[in-house]
Amino acid sequence: MAIKVGINGFGRIGRLVFRSGVNDPDIQFVGINDPFIDAEYMVYMLKYDTVHGRFKGTVEARDGKLVVNGKAIAVYAAMKPEEIPWKECGAEIVLESTGVFTDMAKA
């Protein structure tokens, strides 16, 4: 059974984590939080990476979600970690990739 993963921050690191795990059968990305970009821009940033090239798969925004290779992923735009509804999407583990929350007091 795949572990359900959320990503907080979909900048360079968040997208690299996503690309590295999206085809792993043991990982299921269920949510992405980034208060600075919407699902449509996530599509563009994931599809066209100047360093890593074009995404090898399908990517679209549908009903406020990111749909990658036919799988819908919840998209959130919360500024504070405690406001992100990870339980709503079923995330079991969350990867912090904003670069902001670098210690337990901030997280």
Looking at residue 107, its pLDDT comes to 55
Domain containing 22 — which CATH number? 3.40.50.720
Question: pTM of the predicted model, to two decimals?
Answer: 0.92
- How many distinct structural domains can be found in the chain? 1
25-37 residue pLDDT tens: 999 999 999 999 9
Closest residue by Cα to residue 6 from 28, 38, 39, 24: 28
> Does any domain span residue 106?
no
Is residue 103 included in any domain, yes or no? Answer: no
80 domain residue, yes or no: yes
- Domain that residue 43 falls in: 3-96
* pLDDT for residue 106: 59
30: in domain: yes
107 domain residue, yes or no = no
46 within domain boundaries: yes
Give the amino acid at 52.
H
Tens of pLDDT, residue by residue, the chain (107 residues): 999 999 999 999 999 999 999 999 999 999 999 999 999 999 999 999 999 899 999 999 999 999 999 999 999 999 998 999 999 999 999 999 998 766 666 55
- Would you give the distance in Å from CA 25 to the centre of its chain? 17
